[in-house]
Structure 1
Amino acid sequence: MSGLGLVGRRLGRPAAVLALLSALTATAGAEEEPAKQLFGAVTRPAALATQPIGSYAKGCIAGAVALPADGPTWQAMRLSRNRRWGHPELVSLLERLSADAKRIGWGKGILIGDLSQPRGGPMLTGHASHQIGLDADIWFQPMPDRRLSPEEREDKPFVSMLRKDQFLTVDSRRWTPVHARLVMQAASYPDVERVFVNPAIKKKLCDTWQGDRALLGKVRPVYGHDEHFHIRLHCPEGAANCKPQAKVAAGDGCDKSLAWWFTDEPWAKPKKDPDAKPVKPRQVMLDDLPKACRTVLLSPAVGGGAAPVEVAAERTATALSPAPEPADVPVPTPRPR
């Protein structure tokens, strides 16, 4: 068990937890803990002004707010992960998308997957990005006409939009024009910088989309996005410590840059120098992140005291309720539009 896991089990008082976490981070003990263990252990956001820090795949977020587990046109999934935190503008946009999804025929609304952890940063499992509160995953399944139980939200299987026998082909029995409208609706918002989908889905859109073709450039092909699509916002105005991504190239992206994904090159293993010494894989450590992320990690939690320490990987299968409940977490108000 990691040092932070022991903290979570042995210390109950928030002040004691903060003191020990501070001591660990200030000494060599924390330097031995990968950043994903440190950020994956805290369950509440830092009581700081909202600020995304660093880049989408190397950073953190101060003053994150929670997406409520339930809304009139959305339900959050996989609640035990505690990854429904983000910038207020992201939460506001998801609320808007959910209402627009219902309007265009996407059932009762949307199912929302991972945003970020309470303080962002690297995750124990899964994403390389989602670190600064500006990324969110939307399932390719509409919200049902009833509220799913916490257990159902944990166990509900993903549904791929691809054919099982043809990995790079969209399954026409599942993919519908409403799927396309939902993806392109997300791409239509000025705040959205990119929408990531599987290359086969991007090609399907290139071949069939009859709406504004200029928006197709925002839809970017990336493997691993066949069961959901991924929304990424621009760095908010005035967020000086947010590192933007390179701008999307001009055009609809339905060119040789898309064709590349259907060649063998994306799967080719890098050529190795036979004379080179083996390099041991290295974990991302706290010092690899922007310096301000140390402050974010050590700051008291919203609501007073320290953030409770609990390693996500050690949570039991029965710990399925929202963490914490919507009435107990900060939400953006007023919510920007």
Structure 2
Amino acid sequence: MFVRDRQAITPLQLRLLILLCLFSAPLLATPWGEVKQPSAGAPEVIGGAANGCISGAETLPETGAGYVSIRRYRNRYYGHPDLLAFIQEMGRAQQRRSTQLLMLGDLSQPRGGLMSSSHRSHQNGLDVDIWFTLANSPSAARQLMDNRSDPPSMVAAGGRTVSEHWGQAQFELIAAAAQHPRVDRIFVNAAIKQELCQSADGDRSWLRKVRPWWGHDAHFHVRLACPDDSPSCELQKPVPPGDGCGADLAWWLSDEVLSGQAKKGTGKPQRPATPKMPAACRAVLTSP
């Protein structure tokens, strides 16, 4: 607490506190967000999702069959051709299921790299956020998303069950994504993973790709496997065997996590220290 013995903070103390906050707060300055266009040349993924880049990235169209890309002002709608193909296949599948549209969030910046806000990952053109809420039209999606808060959470208060906004459409959406052969893993809130574990029948092998993670209650985060044309791409360690519905999931739903005693990035699982940016990415950043 900054107030001691119930004494009011003086104007001088207030100014000092403001200065302390200004100079102690981490400011994430990154040159990658200043680049407005992809680099020339053939597409290639370099490095990992949390420490990499992409050369020759392709641009996701704002709209397509079954989808709409939102928050375009962020300039984070670039990716490897495999990612764009995955999105377009998901959109066509959504179009067959419903007249509603997928709402797509961030992919990568024009040349990937670290973003100034929102993500540590999404750096190498293989990640995309897909919102669980579906849109009735592109204009409805823009009205909902561009200048407002996120859509409703799919997780109920307390953090252990899904909310009233969850339904069959959301189940089908994430099941389709997880069964796609290019997908390496998907990050969701633990309560959503638990709901999938309880609802899935028949072939449950796709559940293995769906991993519990902090947040991710209104959208899910898809990460593709390294493409064949990118030998410098670094894939994460393989996901553990099994459907992921056992002890590991139970930890995510424990009092330790839900009470906030387990802080993001500590405890289980461990986050590795950020390695040095691949040298090839420096050339991508500065190339024409």
What is the TM-score when the length of structure 1 is the normalising length? 0.70
CA distance in 2, matches of 1:258, 1:150: 35
Residue of structure 2 in register with 1:38 after alignment: 31
2:97 — aligned with what? 104
**Which one is further off, 69-78 or 190-199?**
69-78
Letter paired with 2:173: L
| CA displacement at 1:263 relative to structure 2 | 2.0
The 5-angstrom pairing of residues 38-57 of structure 1 reads 38-57=31-50
Task: Classify 1:213/1:150 alpha carbon distance in 2 versus 1 (closer, same or farther; 3 Å).
Answer: closer
Deviations 1:219-275 (A, max 9, x none): 1111211000111100001311001111111111001011110124444368xxxxx
Per the alignment, residue 209 of structure 1 pairs with 200
Q: Which residue number in structure 2 is paired with residue 80 of structure 1?
A: 73
Contact 2:159 2:253 in 1 (8 A): no
Q: Which fold has the larger relative contact order, with Cα–Cα distance below 8 Å and residues 6 or more apart in sequence?
A: 1
Deviation track 1:62-110 (CA, whole Å, cap 9, x = no partner) reads: 11111011113211111110000000110011010011123233x4321
| 2-structure distance, mates of 1:191, 1:240 | 16
Structure 2 unmatched ranges of 5 or more: 1-26, 264-273
**Aligned twin of 1:299:** 287
Asked if residue 139 in structure 1 is aligned to residue 131 in structure 2, the reply is yes
- CA-CA distance at 1:148 after TM superposition: 4.2
Question: 1:63: which partner in 2?
Answer: 56
- SS of residue paired to 1:292: helix
Deviation readout 1:276-315 (Å, 9 max, x if unpaired) = xxxxxxxx8xx93100011000011xxxxxxxxxxxxxxx
CA distance in 1, matches of 2:89, 2:60: 12
Distance of aligned partners of 1:176 and 1:151 in 2 relative to their CA distance in 1, 3 Å threshold? closer
Which whole-Å CA distance do the structure 1 matches of 2:67 and 2:145 have between them?
12
Partner residue of 1:185? 176
Q: Structure 1 regions of 5+ residues with no counterpart?
A: 1-33, 271-283, 301-337
Provide the aligned C-alpha RMSD in A.
Answer: 2.1
Retained in 2: the 8 A contact 1:36–1:122? Answer: no
Give me the identity figure in percent.
42
8 A Cα contact 2:51 2:114, kept in partner? yes
1:108–1:151 Cα change, 3 Å? closer
CA contact (8 A) 1:66 1:84 kept: yes
**Separation of aligned partners in 2, 1:139 and 1:58:** 24
Out of 141, 147, 154, the position equivalent to 1:155 is 147
The CA distance in 1 between the partners of 2:215 and 2:262, in whole Å, is 18
* CA distance, structure 1, for counterparts of residue 53 and residue 283 of structure 2: 10
1:212 CA displacement: 2.0
Residue 82 (structure 2) pairs with residue 89 (structure 1): yes
- Counterpart secondary structure, 2:47: strand
Q: Secondary structure at the match of 1:180?
A: helix
Q: What are the residue-to-residue correspondences of 1:219-234 with 2, within 5 Å?
A: 219-234=210-225
* 1:248 to 2:217 alignment: no
Deviations 1:186-216 (A, max 9, x none): 0011100111110000001111112420110
Look up the SS of the partner of 1:294 in the other structure: helix
SS in 2 for 1:229: strand
Name the aligned partner's letter for residue 74 of structure 2: R
Is the CA contact (8 Å cut-off) linking 1:99 and 1:109 kept in structure 2? no
Alpha carbons of 1:269 and 1:96: their partners in 2 closer, same or farther (altered >3 Å)? closer
1:47–1:35 Cα change, 3 Å: farther
Counterpart of 1:142 in 2: which secondary structure?
coil
Residue 153 of structure 1 deviates from its aligned partner by: 4.0
Q: For the Cα contact (< 8 Å) 2:44–2:229, is it kept in 1? A: no
- How many corresponding residue pairs? 250
